[in-house]
Amino acid sequence: MANYPDNVIDLSLTDKAGEYSERVKANEMNPLVSLFEALLNLGTKSVPDRKQRKYIRITNFIALVTFFASLAYLTMAILWEKWYWLEVVLGSSFFCLMVGFMNGFNYTKLSRITYMVGINFLIFFSVLLVGPIARGETFFLCTMIIPFLIYDLKNFRYIVLGVTLSLALMVACNWTFPYFKEFNLTSGQQMVMHHIGTAIQVIWVVACLYQLLFYSRKAENDLESSKVQMSFQTTELKRSNSDLEQFAYIISHDLKAPVRNISSFMNLLVNKHGNSLNPEAREFVDYSRNGAKRMERLIDDVLSYCRIGTNLPNPTPVNLNDVVSTVRFELADKLRAVDGTVVISKELPVVNNVHSSLMYHVFQNLITNGLKFNKSPKPEINVFWTNSLNYYTFSVHDNGIGISKEFSETIFQMFKRLHNENEYDGTGIGLAICKKIVEYYNGEIWFESEAGKGTTFHFTIRKF
């Protein structure tokens, strides 16, 4: 794919994507085409594999063609007043509708084997009732094709079952014809049915071949359209990432500079003229200084959030004992001040394919929150983990104030605070950063808590 300069979108990709959308809209506007597509796609939405969707679609198509073919025989049965044959033809029509019904309710495997077995027996009884002159047993040659149309070669046993059943019933016709003579059509009627049957067989085979070619072509068009859409989205993603990096640069330089100036000049004002300021003016200055500090922390946190997953080195194995030890060392003064402890229940594992800086952010935020939102005379943070087949599950438990269950989702949103900033300091971004980092590693994060009885945050990291 060509390289494009920043903020430039390949217009050819846009045009191709637009053309594809217009074709889809044109089909949707035609009610007959929409109905036909809806019938063919019964049962395909719940199947992720494209090849399996193909076989379900062809099953629907064959059942639809069989239904319309049965209408021709239905007309002949009524005109010739052959009511016993009419029952078989009606059964065939109802049977075709049932195949679509089963696919519509996602019984796709059952519908295919039901159609394959059922259509053979319906043809068998119909051939016996029409008579040998009509040469209706040649329909079994068509039914031998069906297993190869609706099954992958991996399902060889179903293909063998379908072919064997067709051969067996075709041979059985020759042995069974004498027992149905009294029910046969007249010789003239049988000859008419021979010509009609031959035409229907040709139409049926041509229609099935057309469906195979149509689906193959449609699959190629869909693949090409997917490539076009993917190329377009990749270009858009590159542009968005470029905008995000530029946004992060503006935050880190253009916004932090004036905030630092405000803070610096307020400090100078206090140092030089603090004694001459009246209490109200001093209070206003303190508000401004605190606001500048909070703004600077907020900018740093937003910048950290935006930079997660960008410009990272290759992931490496990380010993989480070292990570938690670093956090504990940096919080040593605060732990002594509140007589708190951070306990690792058992040695933490070495996790592959992660980044120590991001894992530090997760543990640092969760442990700091456990100390901050804590009114216990001896705050205690326990870090422990469990092992499963594909994931490590890490838990950080505190004996703090707890969190109400109603905040189980909103607490991980940016700037979401559950308390007044005068009561508990912070920007409300810490848990959002944790969530984004954990999801970057395809994990999940959640908490268990009870108000006044502490909180346990759990998060998972894939092993590989």
List all residues 6 or more positions away from 314 whose beta carbon is below 8 Å from its beta carbon: none
Residue 401 predicted with pLDDT over 50: yes
Are the CB atoms for 393 and 449 separated by under 8 Å?
no
CA angle (111 as vertex; 176, 28 as ends), nearest 5: 125
CA 152, CA 262: separation in Å to the nearest integer? 71
Cα-based angle 142, 156, 145 (whole degrees, multiple of 5): 10
User: Span 2-14, mean pLDDT?
Assistant: 41
Write out the two tokens for 301: 């946190």
According to the model, what pLDDT value does residue 296 have? 72
- Return the C-alpha torsion angle 386, 390, 396, 397, nearest 10: -50
Mean local confidence (pLDDT), 274-298: 75
Share of residues in the chain with pLDDT > 90 (%): 15
Q: What are the tens digits of pLDDT across the range 172-181?
A: 988 898 888 8
Residue 353 confidence (pLDDT) above 60: yes
- 17: confidence class by pLDDT, cuts 50, 70, 90: very low
How far does CA 89 lie from the centroid of its chain? 43
Closest among 299, 289, 298 to 268, alpha carbons compared: 289
Which CATH architecture best describes the domain 312-462? 2-Layer Sandwich (3.30)
Strands 341-344 and 455-462: unpaired
Residue among 170, 187, 199, 173 at smallest CA distance from 133: 187
Closest CA to 262 of 242, 224, 236, 290: 290
Residue with tokens 């944790």: 434
Does 56 have pLDDT greater than 50? yes
Q: What is the pTM of this model?
A: 0.46
Whether residue 21 is predicted with pLDDT greater than 60 in this model: the reply is: no
Contacts of 65 (CB under 8 A, 6+ apart): 203, 204, 207, 208
At 405, the pLDDT band (50, 70, 90 cuts) reads confident
How far, CA to CA in Å, does 138 sit from each of 131, 163, 170, 202, 256?
13, 14, 8, 11, 84
Instruction: Determine the Cα–Cα distance for residues 124 and 137; give it in Å rounded to an integer.
Output: 8
Both tokens of 446, joined, read: 């959640």
3-state class (DSSP) for residue 456: strand
pLDDT in tens, 206-247: 877 776 666 655 555 555 566 666 766 777 777 776 666 666
Rounded to 10 deg, the angle between the 430-440 and 279-306 helix axes is: 10
Lowest-pLDDT choice from 42-56, 138-152, 220-234? 220-234
Three-point CA angle 127, 133, 136, nearest 5°: 30
DSSP 447: E
Q: What pLDDT is stored for residue 456 in this prediction?
A: 93
Number of neighbours of residue 130 by Cβ within 10 angstroms: 26
Angle between helices 356-372 and 430-440 (to 10 degrees): 150
Q: Where in the chain is the domain with CATH 3.30.565.10?
A: 312-462
Query: For residue 421, which phi and psi values (nearest 5 degrees)?
Result: -65, -20
Q: Please, are residues 153 and 159 in contact by the beta-carbon 8 Å criterion?
A: yes
Please state, in angstroms and rounded to a whole number, the distance separating the CA atoms of residues 407 and 449: 11
Q: Name 28's Cβ contacts closer than 8 Å, sequence gap at least 6.
A: 34
The pLDDT of residue 416: 60
Lowest average pLDDT, out of 26-30, 351-355, 409-413, goes to: 26-30
2, 10 contact by CB (below 8 A): yes
pLDDT band at residue 438 using 50, 70 and 90 as cut-offs? very high
* Stretch 269-287: mean pLDDT: 79
Of the two residues 280 and 350, the one the predictor is more confident about is: 350
Dihedral sign computed on CA atoms, order 301, 305, 310, 313: positive
